[in-house]
């Protein structure tokens, strides 16, 4: 192999354009396009009795207004249920524009197209919609009581009941020496990328083809959906994810109503049309996540070993279920974390409410599962008077127990089998980094000065790199440039850099010669998407496999040119040469010329490949059997099952005895994602995840009132952390390679966020001596907890 | 709109009754003009009328800081300013931070060296904010850095490497000043 680039903190190749304003995000495109704007429901639940667009027609610059009645054939059909599941017996999706009934504030009712966005909004304001308000179902408790229904034909508001089970949990708990029972709650948050959603469509009437740009995490899925709805062959639809200003999960949902309607109208009007989501729209029309109530029953022995665990999870999935029940599946499986839980039963009830849809946000159900398990570990420790880390250690899967079968079915429909890891070492390192063992003295010293400190930790396992597959294509051109493409998309993860590192390492070329394209169906048409910490594992391995094909081919062609055995050849800095003899060499750009036998030369270099120049035997065809012209290769990576990353986080917090403000003094992360491709990029992913975790633990919640109005739908009121709220994050790595894939890597994208709420809850509980059972923990919430504990001693936790 | 006062009306679009006004300003050192309705935001003028799409709009209500540009050297939220009020002023956007020959500014260099960006959407706002911060406070303390960037949201980086980038940029500026003196 050439210069060592795999595993190095290579600087990002995308930064040059992003730092100079030359990035191209969705709204930077289509300067001359018409603008779309949407009339959205102001009611959480209402029947539409009339829509009058006549006043809107008076707005100069208006081009068209559409309501449900205007949508022909498949355009007006319900949006697809993307991930069906046998347990989702009552899946429901909305229409692109509301038909008769709206079920959440923000549901699109009409689309307006005008010369610019200002005029489109003027017209949208003038569309009069008459509603007959219906009672709204808001919150998990109200949904469970089912006094009112979100969908008339969904009894009990229950979309799905899912059971995950291994062993006889009820019997194990009955037989256990100690039993605890409690309830936990996590509120809603959201991905909240700084760039919202957006779609820009161009219809080419002469060619009968459509080009769509979308700020999406799944351009191939968007393409398939648009082609199906518009009745076009996929070959006539191109979908491109340009630079995307963050996704964090929300942009995996597709097709959004706007992704159907904007291309449809572009074709109908034969005009370019663009829709760029504004922030308020994003709050009420994109998606949220996290909201769950969990009822836990755990049986354990005197050493804190869990013997049986029974969890009933009530999950709020909002008004519709376009993304199925992936989140509660992930919660109920990943809840087990790094532990050997004797017998386990999880029953998920997934409920409809008249609120925005709930689809994966970074972590995708894991933060809730880890919160449940880690709170359980803390409860056991407090109950037995044991050290919280010791209780965890007593339950950990040991390094010699891999592969470890948890006996459940994971989100990819495959067995939940952990491939590799060293969980005790993660825990040991995290304790060392945060100063766990000496903390008693630190807390006491602080207490003597009137300061209230606490320490907490959390351990988690994350299934990453779910299938079914991703692919890679690699082509070396006659200038020696290496073009790498993969179908999945990028939202800031640095794929152009890490995939180039992989290609450079596999091929033996300078990284500067490698050019990576992602999320462009013109370059690669088969893909699944970017979610579930899968891009590096899936596309990284696919690209490596494609590179190996190209490398083998290059060696075969070069061997013929050099009259050498391919097994004696190597590639260094883009030149194929005989090992130990640099004089017998041919550059890859020449190999690329030779790979494509030509009749017509277009320059001096390609003249070498014409039929009177090449030296192949005249008895052989110019292209050998089984070969293809061109120095290129394509391959796919399709894993038998997911690979499991893991980590441990720990924090020290200080709580203000008067104001109940919580400050994080130290935060430590130990992370194991197998072999690191680029440690700088992985650390960046962890930092961002932890910050989102801190947001979810302390600040972020979606404040719906009882009528289903989102009261904090702006950045003024929905509090995301600024630099002043995020402490310095210390990171450490373990590298336990995955045995499942050629590169030995595991996913890293979501890791940072997963255990943060659990860690902060543990630390605040430690500082306060008051039981923490709900997140986020605002000063107000903590103040309430203090008052409750003052009246109810059972809420006071025993010190270690 | 329909209530346009006849005596102040300067022009109308062909098919709207909306008043438009001439705006003349200096953007990244170049004289630029545009004719815009009174309600046009400075961010929209820059992005859509002048084609300078490096300035991003993340919230449209002045909280996220993505749209921060320099107005006569001071950071402002271009989504909270009407384009007409920028007339006669000097605006610097992310496109104007590098030297005329394309050499990145110390702040741009520092963000690249320290991995101070991921998706890049908030980055132009941070670059403008930090450029102004370091002009005012060439050697900021950690607290001054945190305070200085506390009006800009980033959802990707957890701010760790942005903070490092600010300190690094201060180093680079100091070094180039020393070299300039020597």
CATH superfamily of A33-134+191-285: Aldehyde oxidase/xanthine dehydrogenase, a/b hammerhead (3.90.1170.50)
CB count in 10 Å sphere of residue A69: 10
CATH number of the structural domain A467-637: 3.30.365.10
CA-to-CA separations, A343 to A297, A340, A401, in angstroms, rounded: 12, 9, 18
**Residues composing chain A:** 800
Could you tell me the CA-to-CA distances from A745 to A436, A489, A539, A687 in Å, in that order?
Answer: 30, 19, 11, 19
pLDDT, tens digit, 9 for 90 and up, residues B39-48: 999 999 999 9
In chain B, where the domains are located: 6-96, 106-181
DSSP B95: G
- Cα separation, B154 vs B169, in Å, equals 18
The whole-model pTM stands at: 0.95
Q: Report A:22-51 residues touching B (Cβ under 8 A).
A: 22-25, 27-28, 31
Residues A91 and A321 sit within 8 Å (Cβ to Cβ):
yes
With a CB cutoff of 8 Å and minimum separation 6, the contacts of B97 are: A20, B104, B105, B107, B108, B127, B128, B131
pLDDT score recorded for residue A609: 79
- Please tell me the distance from the alpha carbon of residue A349 to that of residue A352, in angstroms, as a whole number: 10
Q: Across the interface, do A31 and B48 touch by the CB < 8 Å criterion?
A: yes
Chain B touched by A728 (CB under 8 Å): yes
Say which CATH topology domain B106-181 has. Answer: DNA polymerase; domain 1 (1.10.150)
Domain ranges within chain A, ordered by starting residue = 33-134+191-285, 292-466+640-795, 467-637
How far is residue A712's CA from residue A715's CA, in Å, rounded to a whole number?
Answer: 8
> Tokens standing for A52?
């009058």
Q: What are phi and psi of A162, to 5 degrees?
A: -125, 130
Q: Which CATH number fits domain A292-466+640-795: 3.50.50.60, 3.30.70.660, 3.30.365.10, 3.90.1200.10?
A: 3.30.365.10
pLDDT tens digits along B101-124: 999 999 999 999 999 999 999 999
pLDDT along chain A (800 residues), means of 10: 77 97 98 97 98 95 98 97 96 98 98 97 98 98 98 98 96 98 97 98 98 98 98 98 97 97 98 98 97 98 98 98 96 97 96 98 97 98 97 98 94 93 98 97 96 97 94 96 97 96 97 97 95 93 98 95 94 94 90 90 83 78 89 96 97 97 97 96 97 97 97 97 97 95 94 97 96 96 95 83
Q: Which two tokens stand for residue A346?
A: 């999880």
pLDDT for position A800: 59
Q: Which of A194, A243, A278, A363 to mutate to probe the B interface, most B CBs <10 Å? A: A194
Closest CA to A732 of A421, A393, A425, A394: A425
Starting at the earlier edge strand, list the strands of the sheet with A158-166. Answer: A158-166, A343-351, A306-316, A292-300, A178-186, A774-775
**Tell me: the pLDDT tens digits for B51-104?**
999 999 999 999 999 999 999 999 999 999 999 999 999 999 999 999 999 999
Q: Using only C-alpha atoms, what is the Rg of chain B? A: 18
Q: How far is A573 from chain B (nearest CA, A)?
A: 24
Phi, psi of A723 (to 5 degrees): -55, -30
Kindly list the distances between the CA atom of residue A271 and the CA atoms of A264, A418, A526, A668, B87, in Å, as whole numbers in the listed order.
Answer: 11, 52, 28, 53, 33
CB contact under 8 A, B112 and A15: yes
Architecture of domain B6-96 in this structure: Roll (3.10)
Q: Do domains A33-134+191-285 and A292-466+640-795 have the same CATH topology?
A: no
Contact between chains at A715 and B98 (C-beta distance less than 8 A): no
DSSP class of residue A696 equals: I
Minimal Cα distance from B127: which residue of A? A19
Q: What pLDDT shows up at residue A404?
A: 97
Give B180's pLDDT tier (boundaries 50, 70, 90): confident
Alpha helices of chain B — where are they, by DSSP H? 42-44, 106-113, 123-136, 142-148, 160-181
Chain A residue nearest residue B99, CA to CA: A20
């Amino acid at each position: 192999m050439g210069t060592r680039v795999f595993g190095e903190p290579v600087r990002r190749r995308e930064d040059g354009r992003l730092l100079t304003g030359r990035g191209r995000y969705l709204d930077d495109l289509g300067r001359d396009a018409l603008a779309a704007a949407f009339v959205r429901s102001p009611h959480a639940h209402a029947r539409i009795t009339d829509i009058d667009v006549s006043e809107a027609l008076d707005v100069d610059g208006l081009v068209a207004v559409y309501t449900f009645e205007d949508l022909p054939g498949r355009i007006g059909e319900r949006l697809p249920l993307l991930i069906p599941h046998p347990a989702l017996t009552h899946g429901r999706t909305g229409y692109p524009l509301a038909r008769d009934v709206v079920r959440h504030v923000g549901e699109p009712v009409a689309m307006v197209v005008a010369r610019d966005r200002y005029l489109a909004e003027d017209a949208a304001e003038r569309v009069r919609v008459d509603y007959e308000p219906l009672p709204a179902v808001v919150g998990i408790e109200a949904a469970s009581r089912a006094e009112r229904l979100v969908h008339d034909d969904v009894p009990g508001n229950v979309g799905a009941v899912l059971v995950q089970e291994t062993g006889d949990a009820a019997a194990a708990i009955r037989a256990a020496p100690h039993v605890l029972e409690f309830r936990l709650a996590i509120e809603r948050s959201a991905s909240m990328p700084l760039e919202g959603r957006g779609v820009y469509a161009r219809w080419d009437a002469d060619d009968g083809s459509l080009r769509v740009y979308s700020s999406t995490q799944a351009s191939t899925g968007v393409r398939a959906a648009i082609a199906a709805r518009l009745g076009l062959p996929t070959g006539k639809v191109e979908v491109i994810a340009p630079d995307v200003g963050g996704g964090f999960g929300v942009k995996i949902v597709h097709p959004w109503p706007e992704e159907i309607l904007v291309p449809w109208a572009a074709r109908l009007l034969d005009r370019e049309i663009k829709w760029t989501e504004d922030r308020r729209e994003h709050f009420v029309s994109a998606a949220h996540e996290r909201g769950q109530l969990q009822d836990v029953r755990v049986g354990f022995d005197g050493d804190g070993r869990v013997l049986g665990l029974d969890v009933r999870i009530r999950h709020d999935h909002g008004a519709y279920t376009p993304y199925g029940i992936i989140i509660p599946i992930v919660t109920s499986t990943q809840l087990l974390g790094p532990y050997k839980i004797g017998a386990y039963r999880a029953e998920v009830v997934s409920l409809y409410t008249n609120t925005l849809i709930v689809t994966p946000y970074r972590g995708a159900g894991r933060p809730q599962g880890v919160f449940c398990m880690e709170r359980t570990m803390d409860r056991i420790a407090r109950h037995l008077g044991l050290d919280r880390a010791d209780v965890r250690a007593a339950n950990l899967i040991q390094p010699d127990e891999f592969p470890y079968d948890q006996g459940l079915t994971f989100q990819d429909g495959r067995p939940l089998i952990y491939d590799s890891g060293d969980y005790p070492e993660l825990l040991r390192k995290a304790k060392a980094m945060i100063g766990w063992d000496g903390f008693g003295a630190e807390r006491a010293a602080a207490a003597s000065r009137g300061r209230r400190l606490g320490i907490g930790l959390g351990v988690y396992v994350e299934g990453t790199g779910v299938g079914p597959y991703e692919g890679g294509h690699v082509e070396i051109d006659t200038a020696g440039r290496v073009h790498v493409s993969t179908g999945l998309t990028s939202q800031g993860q640095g794929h152009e850099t890490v995939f180039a590192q992989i290609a450079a390492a596999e091929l033996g070329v300078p990284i500067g010669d490698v050019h990576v394209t992602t999320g462009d169906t013109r370059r690669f048409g088969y893909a699944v998407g970017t979610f579930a910490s899968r891009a590096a594992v899936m596309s990284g391995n696919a690209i490596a496999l494609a590179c190996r094909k190209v490398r083998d081919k290059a060696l075969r062609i070069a061997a013929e040119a050099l009259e050498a055995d391919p097994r004696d050849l190597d590639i260094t800095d883009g030149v194929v040469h005989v090992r130990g003899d640099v004089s017998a060499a041919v550059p890859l750009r020449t190999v690329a010329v030779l790979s494509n036998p030509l009749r017509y030369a277009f320059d001096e270099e390609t003249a070498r490949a014409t039929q009177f120049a090449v030296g192949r035997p005249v008895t052989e065809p110019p292209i050998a059997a089984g070969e293809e012209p061109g120095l290129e290769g394509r391959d796919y990576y399709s894993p038998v099952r997911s690979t499991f990353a893991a980590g441990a986080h720990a924090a020290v917090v200080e709580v203000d005895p008067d104001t109940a403000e919580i400050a994080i003094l130290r935060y430590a992360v130990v992370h194991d994602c197998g072999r690191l491709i680029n440690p700088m990029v992985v650390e960046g992913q962890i930092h961002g995840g932890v910050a989102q975790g801190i947001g979810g633990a302390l600040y972020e919640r979606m404040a719906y009132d009882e009528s289903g109005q989102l009261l904090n739908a702006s950045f003024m009121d929905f509090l995301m952390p600024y630099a002043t709220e995020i402490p310095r994050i210390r990171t450490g790595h373990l590298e336990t390679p995955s045995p499942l894939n050629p590169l030995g890597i595991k996913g890293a994208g979501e890791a940072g966020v997963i255990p943060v709420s659990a860690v902060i809850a543990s630390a605040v509980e430690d500082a306060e001596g008051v039981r923490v059972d709900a997140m986020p923990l605002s000063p107000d919430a903590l103040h309430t907890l203090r008052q409750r504990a003052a009246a109810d001693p059972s809420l006071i936790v025993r010190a270690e | 709109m329909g209530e346009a006062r006849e005596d102040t009306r300067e022009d109308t679009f062909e098919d709207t009754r909306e008043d438009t006004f001439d705006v003349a300003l200096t953007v990244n050192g170049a004289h630029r003009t545009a004719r815009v309705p009174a309600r046009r935001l400075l961010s929209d003028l820059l992005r859509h009328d002048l084609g300078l799409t490096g300035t991003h709009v993340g919230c449209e209500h002045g909280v996220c800081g993505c749209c921060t540009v320099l107005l006569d050297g001071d950071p402002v939220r271009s989504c909270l300013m009407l384009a007409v009020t920028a007339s006669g002023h000097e605006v610097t956007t992310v496109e104007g931070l590098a030297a005329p020959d394309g050499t990145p500014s110390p702040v741009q260099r520092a963000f690249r060296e320290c991995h101070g960006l991921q998706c890049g959407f908030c980055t132009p706002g941070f670059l403008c904010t930090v450029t102004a911060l370091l002009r005012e406070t060439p050697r900021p303390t950690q607290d001054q850095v945190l305070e200085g960037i506390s009006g800009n949201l980033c959802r990707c980086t957890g701010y760790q490497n942005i903070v490092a980038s600010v300190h690094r940029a201060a180093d680079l500026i100091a070094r180039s000043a020393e070299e300039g003196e020597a």
